[in-house]
């Protein structure tokens, strides 16, 4: 019996226009109100995830920034925080500064600093990165600085790099050889598969690790979990959950890790389809 549903946001819950399909909203409300299923949104998003969660108009938990934070609700401080350690911040930012890799990168300050995003000041930026920055500015302070190493004493949730996916794939392999204990997450941009996000987090930060810790607080076992996602950062959740569902628009490499694949895409309400099969069919 499913007691908790862990749901990715971009490319899964949201359609390609950034809206929640109506059948998804109805399914989530039904699961929460009629079946007492705990709803947990598990996302790489930071501050922008709160507005999406509130649109559901149901009790909702949130795992954000790829597992850096766990929020029991939308109105309280996080019950779990996993920030990068100072030695890791110094090593990674120094590496990016010294190697002149021609990539756009940024840091995100912690909850205590209102999630400020500070990106490396450069003479020019990739257009995709500039659009990412413009979107981010709608939610929280976002601005450039010349030397990001000036901020290593601040809590930092993650260091992010945005660019062409194949280039980031190569860079991820290089970063894995650094000495710091870090978790490196690489995933496709949901709106353009030619681009991606490479995120460097504390070793204890991932969707699946945060979800596992949250399950302990609710005394729920993985055998009672439904996980739904579309991207590489969802694979860990798939491996944790008893029932794992990849949406139809997920890359084939991701689908291979899921037990089931929906017929519907994110634009057609794939979450609603999964709920119909694995939650509402149980009563």
Q: For residue range 3-20, what is the model confidence (pLDDT) as tens digits?
A: 999 999 999 999 999 999
62-116 pLDDT, tens per residue? 999 999 999 999 889 999 999 999 999 999 999 999 987 889 999 999 999 999 9
For residues 226-251, average pLDDT: 97
With a cut of 70, say whether residue 262 has pLDDT above it: yes
* Cα(280)–Cα(2) distance, integer angstroms: 10
Strand, helix or coil for residue 188: strand
With a cut of 90, say whether residue 47 has pLDDT above it: no
**Got the DSSP string for 253-266?**
HHHTT-SEE-SS-G
What pLDDT, on a 0 to 100 scale, did the predictor assign at position 283? Answer: 54
For residues 156-169, average pLDDT: 96
Q: Is the pTM higher than 0.95?
A: no
What's the chain's average pLDDT? 95
Q: Which helix (H) or strand (E) holds 87?
A: helix 86-99
With a cut of 60, say whether residue 267 has pLDDT above it: yes
What pLDDT, on a 0 to 100 scale, did the predictor assign at position 102? Answer: 86
* Cα(248)–Cα(246) distance, integer angstroms: 7
Of 196, 149, 199, 154, the C-alpha closest to 175 is: 199
Task: Label residue 282 by pLDDT band (50, 70, 90).
Answer: low
* Cα(97)–Cα(148) distance, integer angstroms: 9
């Amino acid at each position: 019996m499913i007691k908790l549903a862990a749901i990715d946001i971009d490319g899964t819950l949201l359609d390609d226009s950034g809206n929640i399909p109506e059948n998804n909203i109805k399914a989530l409300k039904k699961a929460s109100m009629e079946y007492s299923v705990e709803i947990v949104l598990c996302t790489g998003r930071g501050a922008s995830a709160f507005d999406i969660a509130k649109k559901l108009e149901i009790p909702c938990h949130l795992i954000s920034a790829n597992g850096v934070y766990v929020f029991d609700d939308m109105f309280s401080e996080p019950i779990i925080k996993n920030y990068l350690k100072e030695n890791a911040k110094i090593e990674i930012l120094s590496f990016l500064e010294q190697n002149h890799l021609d990539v756009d990168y940024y840091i995100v300050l912690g909850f205590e600093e209102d999630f400020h995003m500070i990106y490396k000041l450069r003479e020019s930026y990739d257009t995709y990165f500039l659009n990412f920055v413009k979107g981010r500015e709608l939610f929280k302070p976002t601005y450039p600085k010349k030397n990001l190493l000036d901020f290593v004493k601040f809590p930092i949730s993650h260091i992010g790099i945005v660019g062409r996916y194949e280039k980031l794939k190569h860079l991820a392999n290089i970063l894995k050889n650094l000495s710091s204990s870090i978790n490196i997450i690489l995933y496709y941009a949901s709106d353009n598969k030619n681009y991606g996000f490479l995120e460097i987090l504390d070793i204890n930060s991932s969707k699946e690790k945060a979800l596992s810790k949250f399950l302990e607080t609710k005394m729920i076992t993985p055998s009672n979990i439904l996980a739904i996602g579309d991207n590489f950062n969802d694979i860990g959740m798939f491996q944790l959950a008893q029932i794992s569902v990849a949406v139809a628009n997920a890359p084939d490499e991701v689908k291979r890790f899921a037990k089931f694949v929906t017929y519907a895409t994110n634009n057609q309400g794939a979450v609603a389809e999964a709920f119909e099969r694995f939650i509402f069919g149980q009563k």
